Amino acid sequence: MKVIKNINNNVSLCLDSKGNEIVAFGKGLGFIKPPYEIDLKKVERTFYNLNPNFINMIQDISVEAFEIADKVMNYASIVLDCELNANLVFTLADHLNFAIKRHEQGVNLKLPIVTDIEQLFEQEIDVGRYALTLIQDRLQISLPKVEAAYIALNIINSEFNNMRKDGDINDKIIQDITVLIERNFNIKIDIESFSYSRFVSHMYYLLKREKKNHRIKSDNKRLYQSLVDTYPKTYQCLLQIKNYFNTACDWNLADEECLYLMLHINRLYAREDCYQ
C-alpha cells in the first residue's frame, strides 16, 4: 500500500495494489512525507469508495470521533442487518465531533420529533444509544439523551437516501433557496459537499412536514431569538427564505422551523466561507 497524501498525523490517502484510493487510519501514518510504501502493521482501519469531498473534513475531526463512528457503523450494520454506505462513518464522525463541541459550549438542542423517531425507528435509536455509551466510556462525556435521536437520523438518512418522491417540485424549491443563500453570503456552494448534503436532508424533512401540515413544537424559542441577535446577516437571509415559502408555497414557517434552518445556514456558510 502506497501513501500519496497525508491528511493529518494519523490519516493518509493511499493506493492499494490495484490502484484503488483508500483512506487509511493509524497512529503516526502522516509523519513521513509521501509518496512512500506503508507498513501494513501500522494501518488500523481503511475505508474504500469514499466521497472525495469528505476527505477535506478529516483534519477538522478528532481521531476519537472517527474511532467511535467506526464502531457505531459496525454495530449499525449488525443491528440493521444491512450494508451501509462507507461515507456514513464520515457523516457520523462529523456529527459526533460537532455534538461534543456543542455540549462543551453548553448548547443543547431539543428535538421535537424525538418521540416519533423512538416509535418508528427502534433499531436506529438503539444504535444512537450505543453511540452515547461509547462516548461516555471512551471520552467520559455524557451527551444528552436526545443526541441518540440525532445520531439515529444520520443512520436513517443513510438507509433512506431516496426521499425525493416529489423530486421535481422539491428540487426546484431547494435549488431556489440555495441560490438565495449564495447571493446573500456571496459564496458558491459546493453541492457535492457534506454540509450541503446535510442541508438538503433537512430541507426534505421540512418540506415533508409542511406538506402534511405537521408543525414541530419545542422550547427553543429563546435560543432562536439569541441566534437572531447574534447572526443578523443569517436572519436577513432567513427572512427572504420565509418570504419565498410564503409566496411560492403559501407556507408561513414557524419559529421552530426557522431556528433549525438558521443553524443549517450558519453551518453551511461557515464551511463554504472557509474555502473562499
Q: What does the pLDDT look like over 67-93, one tens digit per residue?
A: 899 899 889 989 887 777 777 888 898
Highest mean pLDDT, choosing among 6-20, 126-140, 180-194, 203-217: 126-140
- Give residue for cell 401540515: 213
Per-residue pLDDT at 210:
78
d(CA 4, CA 38): 10
d(CA 116, CA 122): 10
The residue with greater pLDDT, 48 or 129, is 129
* Banded model confidence at residue 137, pLDDT cuts 50, 70, 90: very high
Is the separation of the CB atoms in 7 and 59 below 8 Å? Answer: yes
Per-residue pLDDT at 162:
39
- Percent of the chain clearing pLDDT 70 (strictly above): 89
Q: Residues 173-181: contacts with CB within 8 Å, 24+ apart?
A: 173/203, 173/207, 173/248, 173/249, 174/200, 174/203, 174/204, 176/244, 176/248, 177/203, 177/241, 177/244, 180/237, 180/240, 180/241, 180/244, 181/237, 181/265, 181/268, 181/269
Would you say residue 272 has pLDDT above 60? Answer: no
Would you say residue 112 has pLDDT above 50? Answer: yes
Q: Are strands 11-15 and 2-8 parallel, antiparallel or unpaired?
A: antiparallel
Is the separation of the CB atoms in 69 and 92 below 8 Å? Answer: yes
**In the predicted model, what is the mean pLDDT of residues 143-166?**
75
Per-residue pLDDT at 21:
86
Per-residue pLDDT at 111:
76
Per-residue pLDDT at 276:
43
H-helix segments, the chain: 52-55, 63-80, 88-104, 114-120, 122-139, 146-159, 167-185, 194-211, 221-230, 232-249, 255-273
Per-residue pLDDT at 126:
94
Longest dimension (CA), the chain: 61
Closest of 40, 53, 148 to residue 91, by C-alpha = 53
Per-residue pLDDT at 161:
53
Would you say residue 253 has pLDDT above 80? Answer: yes
Least reliable range by pLDDT among 86-90, 130-134, 205-209, 213-217: 213-217
The residue with greater pLDDT, 163 or 189, is 189
Quote the mean pLDDT of the chain: 83
d(CA 271, CA 276): 10
Would you say residue 248 has pLDDT above 70? Answer: yes
Would you say residue 187 has pLDDT above 60? Answer: yes
